[in-house]
Amino acid sequence: MNKNLELANLIFPHINRTIDDLEKLYPPRNLKEGAKVTRFAPSPTGFLHTGSLFTSLVASKIARDSGGVFYIRLEDTDTKREIEGSAAKLLVQLHQFGITPDEGYLGDKEVGIYGPYKQSDRKEIYETVIKEMIIKGIAYPCFATEEDLARLREKQTANKEITGYYGKYAIYRDLDIDTAISYIKEGKPYVIRFKSSGSHLNKIKVHDEIRGDLELTQNDQDIVILKSDGLPTYHFAHICDDHFMHTNLVTRGEEWLPSLPIHIEMFNALGFKAPKYAHLPVIMKLDNGNRRKLSKRKDPEASVDFFLSEGYEPQSLLVYLMTIANSNYEDYIVKTKDYNLDNFKFSLSKMSLDGALFDVDKLNFYAKEILSKFNKTTISAKAYAWAKEFSPELITFIEKDYNRFEEILNIEREKKNPRKDYAKYADIYPVIKFFDRDEFNKIFETENFVFNEKLTKEIILNFLKNYSSSNFLDFVEENDWFGNVKAVADRVGFCIDNKLYKANPDAYIGNVNDACEILRVTLTGRAVTPNLFSIMKILGTEEVQRRFDMMINRLETI
RNA sequence: GCUCUGUUGGAGAAGUGGCUUAACUCAUUGCCCUCUCAAGGCAACAUUCACCGGUUCGAAUCCGGUACAGAGUACCA
């Protein structure tokens, strides 16, 4: 009997299927020419990282554009780092960002005939392949302990040699099979390694869809393919899964580029056709003058949670990420004003090679653009939904009077050049809280209402009294309303012609701007607000009068 | 240390041997408009493409070296 077969049967007695059986079980996909099968393969070790969102955006976009399939595979082979519940949350967040897989692990269910889509459920598949590799002599059990390997690395480092388990240092690769069999029978712990036939003296040519033709050092490491816990390592799972799931374009972070030769060698050794690869740049951040990867621990923007809880419209993050992915997307937006990602043709070759610095300013720019284009119904509903989850104070505000909330958000909206005050829903409340009667009372008591220095108490009082006794809100048109402001201002001595005022400022107590500032500060507590006419309209005659009286009262009693 | 991969303004970048006086977008600054602000309009912002050498009539673009940065170097992914 073949010795290899004996060893294989000893390690995997329960496996009687072959690779051929698997091929039949997972036949090629029936897709049109050029259709791309891509995937997102997250590990359930935490919440969705911004970089992962970026990768999956690209993967799903490519699949969609080409009429292919985008699926999700859960890489849960690292049982030590696994965080309970994070896999399901990952899917929910992906969905919130509008990334909807066609197939795969979907959190609560699995869709598709190429499953299971969860690596921990695919043990038999890996074992089937490894069994055959052992029979063919391209995989073997290795009994080296952690200490053995540490010692080896030390020695290699001292000799300035390449570290790792390869060539003459791969001490168990040529172990006599009978010995291996007896070790296993004794219960010695072991892993399964791939027997590499490469040499680091050789170079291989590979093609990357983003980076073009590359020359990499051939792999010669006998890497671990099956850990002692019986689960596969990433490298091996990648080969099996992407082969049997018929991925034809692997998109992943550039940190995988150095291990590409390992993957290529294994695909070849197994006689599998290797997929195409696109190694995406990672998103960076400037830290003390150095670029580094966005870190979940240090940077709030590294986690997708941050954008959701701040109330960024998911689309705006997506648009921003797309401008990083394909900078010509910006030109496209400028030309078309179209923020719908579906209409843009993405191109891998237009992707830049080094990681972009995450730019919050630019994100905010797009975020404001997008929010400004919503009509009052849409933005109010979305803000309301966001508030329900993240902002109790906004929710209180909204629920007092929803229609009024809509009108407030509608100030200078629904027109050609709408206001762009808000980048995210969390920006809303601080800007609008003065509308609330109780909140205004609080502001009035606690905050300083500062007027322009040149406005004396007498001027303010005089203007306020005159103005509040005019029919200040009996106007439909803003122009007429402003005419009234001007008329009162003129009467109390303000200049109502800015050119005249500029020419001779000392001849007047102030100009219309100053008059408006009196109203603005009195009504809102702030020197900077949206359109006064709209504010007064929403506050209503009674409340405006009340606030005027509050101020008059205060000034008179000082 | 070793093995890869990169390097064009403050940021994202276009550009692959003459069409470049280095597009476009964000940021910044100034002006205009204007009841403040936001928006909008108009300007300004890289004598130069990390550095040094080479090839060429001609280089950001091709070649060599150096520097710097990032990644990998796990029974993590």
Mean of the pLDDT values across residues A83-93? 90
Report which of residues 141-160 in chain A place their beta carbon less than 7 angstroms from any atom of strand B. 144-146, 149, 153, 157, 160
A69-72 and A103-105: which strand pairing? parallel
φ/ψ (deg, to 5) at A60:
-70, -35
> For the residues A215-222, what does the mean pLDDT come to?
90
DSSP A49: B
Q: Higher pLDDT residue, A211 or A265?
A: A265
pLDDT score of A68 = 95
CB A417 within 8 A of CB A494: no
Q: What is the pLDDT of residue A419?
A: 92
The Cα A224–Cα A236 span in angstroms is: 8
Amino acid A211 CA to nucleotide B7 C1' distance, rounded Å = 15
**A513-551 pLDDT per residue, tens:** 899 999 999 999 988 999 999 999 999 999 999 999 999
pTM to 2 decimals?
Answer: 0.92
What is the rounded average pLDDT of the residues A9-33? Answer: 94
Residues forming beta bridges with residue A280, ordered by sequence position: A253
Kind and range of the H or E element at A206?
A: strand A203-208
Q: Which tokens sit at A98?
A: 């509008």
| pLDDT more than 90, % of chain A | 64
Task: Report which residue type is found at A316.
Answer: S
* Mean of the per-residue pLDDT values of chain A: 91
Confidence at residue A500, expressed as pLDDT on a 0 to 100 scale: 80
Residue pLDDT, tens place only, A464-517: 999 988 888 888 888 899 999 999 998 888 888 877 887 777 888 888 889 999
Any strand B atom closer than 7 Å to A89 CB: no
In the prediction, which pLDDT does A441 show? Answer: 93
Q: What is the pLDDT of residue A278?
A: 93
User: Of A78, A73, A76, which is closest to residue A59 (Cα–Cα)?
Assistant: A73
Is A86 near strand B, with its CB below 7 A from some atom of it? no
- The answer to whether the CB of A322 falls within 8 A of the CB of A341 is yes
Q: Which residues touch A59 (CB under 8 Å, ≥6 apart)? A: A38, A39, A40, A70, A251
Closest protein CA to C1' of nucleotide B5, residue:
A257
Q: Which of residues 222-241 of A touch strand B (CB under 7 A)?
A: 224, 227-229, 231, 233-234
Minimum mean pLDDT among A9-23, A81-95, A216-230, A487-501: which range?
Answer: A487-501
pLDDT for A27: 96
CA A9 vs CA A14, A25, A125, A193, A225: distances in Å: 8, 22, 15, 17, 18
Using the C1' atom of nucleotide B68, identify the protein residue whose alpha carbon is closest: A290
Dist. CA A197–CA A285, nearest whole Å: 40
Q: What is the pLDDT of residue A354?
A: 82
Chain B bases near protein CB atoms (7 A cut-off): 1-8, 10-15, 23-27, 35-40, 69-77
Question: Residue A117: pLDDT above 80?
Answer: yes
A276 token code pair: 């195409």
Whole-number Å distance between alpha carbons of A107 and A72:
10
Specify the long-range contacts of residues A492-496, CB closer than 8 Å, at least 24 apart: A492/A459, A492/A462, A492/A463, A492/A466, A493/A459, A494/A463
Q: Are A311 and A426 in contact (CB under 8 A)?
A: yes
Query: Is the CB of residue A359 inside 7 Å of nucleic acid strand B?
Result: yes
- The mean pLDDT of A25-42, rounded to a whole number, is 94
Contact flag, residue A189 CB and nucleic strand B, below 7 A: yes
Single out the residue of A291, A302, A281, A439 nearest to residue A351, CA to CA: A281
pLDDT-derived band at A449 (thresholds 50, 70, 90) equals: confident
Of all residues in chain A, the percent with pLDDT exceeding 70 is: 100
pLDDT of A115 reads: 80
Give pLDDT tens digits for A236-278: 999 999 999 999 999 999 989 999 999 999 999 999 999 999 9
The average pLDDT across A446-472 equals 87
Residue A171 CB in 7 A reach of strand B? no
Q: State the pLDDT at residue A416.
A: 85
* pLDDT at res. A166: 92
Query: What is the band of A162 on the pLDDT scale with cuts at 50, 70, 90?
Result: confident
Residues 61-80 of A with CB under 7 A from strand B: 75, 77-78
pLDDT at A1 exceeding the cut of 70 = no
pLDDT digits 0-9 by tens, A366-419:
999 999 999 999 999 999 999 999 999 999 999 999 999 999 999 999 888 899
Instruction: Verify if strand B has an atom below 7 Å from the CB of A330.
Output: yes
The mean per-residue pLDDT over the stretch A447-462 comes to 85
User: What pLDDT is stored for residue A402 in this prediction?
Assistant: 95
Distance (Å, rounded) from C-alpha A355 to C-alpha A349? 15
Q: Is the CB of A527 under 7 A from strand B?
A: yes
